[in-house]
Amino acid sequence: MEQREVVIVGGGPAGAALAIGLARRGRDVLVLERSPVWRWRACGVFTSPVTVRALVRLGLTDADLMAVARPVPAMRVETPACTRFRLTYGDNGSAAFGSAAVGLDRSRLDPLLLERARAAGAEVREGAAVRGFDADGGRLSLADGARLEARLVVGCDGIRSIVARHARASRAVFLSPRTGLTFHVPDPSPALARDARMIVFDGGYVGLAPVPGARVNVGIVVGGRWRERLHTDGAAQVAADVLRSIPAAHDDPVDWTTAIDDATDPIEGASPIGHRVSRRRGSRWLLVGDAAGFLDPFTGEGLHRTLVSAELATPAIDRHLGGDRHALFGYDRAMTARFRSKDAVSLLVQGFLARPALFERAARTLAERPAVRETMGLVMGDLVPAIRALEPRFIAALLRP
């Protein structure tokens, strides 16, 4: 049985970021990535400027950012009643790296982060799928028959984490079941700096984010009758119907009535969206990234939370391996403190979405009151503490006629 200090399950941004941090501290790190080569999966691409700053801390250069990220001036939210408001995430309109939100090319970003992990000294094994995990003993069995034992196993393997499942830490989410569909379509005007769009419709929403490579990322989230239609009509038909319902916009050159015919990659799905855990650590294991809990794609929280969790986990794991028995508990507590308020905001947003009349009322307020809208954008972009959106005076301002 192969003996290692730290084994990270999952080679996405969470696993790669953690591997970079630990390898820089001189730790023996092995990353197990199940796919032999990168492939498109349902994942987040739109994120706020704080994520770009986290990528810089991982060592990405200006040239790297130019290749993997496309600045986006704002996210424009649109309701079924045609109310619109823009969330600028604190940007002054410059749409520059570090100050604007971005759309990410995950086909370039994810492999780049793994390369940075290798350069830092971590070992990365691609095509290494984990089939079993003994949480008490820190032992892993792989699909090829290999067996490993680690002082610490870290689950960075997403919302269906095998580490979380075998550690009996996975729990059902609070929200009603939802399914996500993602793919890309060509962008006829890739040089144009334009808003991302989030269009809310009865039973779901669709996000459209410009990304590098002359493409637009499409992310559809549906529940209720739309999920039922997925079983009867299939993902392609549901996606086509959703796209045909997107209203035309002067700054959006894509013809959404026929866009599904030009999709540049297969439609990938995730169901159900969301992941909740009862705890994030044990004596021989830890959860980081989406595996440590993921709630709401509407607020664009995924990538930022992923990188923050890796930054919090890195020193905690280092102290744990150095003999600090309380370090992993400290990480769990720090994650709870860091994201408790944001989770509450996400649940609040989902509560509004579940009540169309209430969401429409809030949308009109955000459209008409710049100060309230700016605060919401800063909170959703993780640029200010999320508790600001939970203060009674803010909620009163949001709901006041």
- Is this model's pTM higher than 0.85 or not? yes
Same domain, 187 and 83: yes
Average pLDDT over residues 147-168: 95
What is the Cα–Cα distance from 147 to 127, expressed in whole angstroms?
15
Burial annotation 50-88 (CB, 10 A radius, 16+ → b, else e): bbbebbeebebeeebbeebbbbbbbbbbbbeeebbbbbb
Please indicate, yes or no, whether residues 79 and 217 belong to a single structural domain of this protein: yes
Q: Is residue 348 part of a domain?
A: no
CATH at 43: 3.50.50.60
Q: Is the pLDDT of residue 21 over 90?
A: yes
Per-residue pLDDT at 346: 84
Q: Are residues 124 and 241 in the same domain?
A: no
Are 313 and 20 spatial neighbours (Cβ–Cβ below 8 Å)?
Answer: no
Pair 24, 109 in one domain: yes
Instruction: Report the pLDDT value the prediction gives residue 92, as an integer from 0 to 100.
Output: 61
| Tokens 């000294």, residue located | 121
Domain at 78, CATH number? 3.30.9.10
Contact 30, 176 (CB under 8 A): no
In terms of domains, do 204 and 316 share one? no
pLDDT of residue 276: 86
Domain contains 349: no
> Which of 210, 240, 267 delimits the end of a domain?
267
- How high is the mean pLDDT of the chain? 92
Tens-digit pLDDT profile for residues 230-251: 999 999 999 999 999 999 998 8
* Residue 67 binned pLDDT confidence (cut-offs 50, 70, 90): very high
Strands 75-78 vs 84-87: parallel, antiparallel or unpaired: antiparallel
In a domain, 347, yes or no: no
Domain count, the chain: 3
Domain that holds residue 95: 70-103+178-267
Cα angle, residue 39 at apex, residues 33 and 42 outer, rounded to 5°: 95
Helix (H, G, I), strand (E, B) or coil at 271: coil
Q: Are residues 97 and 111 in the same domain?
A: no
Q: Do 131 and 259 lie in a common domain?
A: no
Domain termination site, one of 219, 251, 267: 267
Same domain, 40 and 23: yes
Which one has a higher pLDDT value, 98 or 338? 338
27 and 86 inside one domain = no
Domain shared by 16 and 92, yes or no: no
Domain edge (last residue) among 299, 317, 342: 342
Q: Quick one: pLDDT at residue 173?
A: 75
Residue 184 shares a structural domain with residue 239? yes
31 with 120, same domain: the answer is: yes
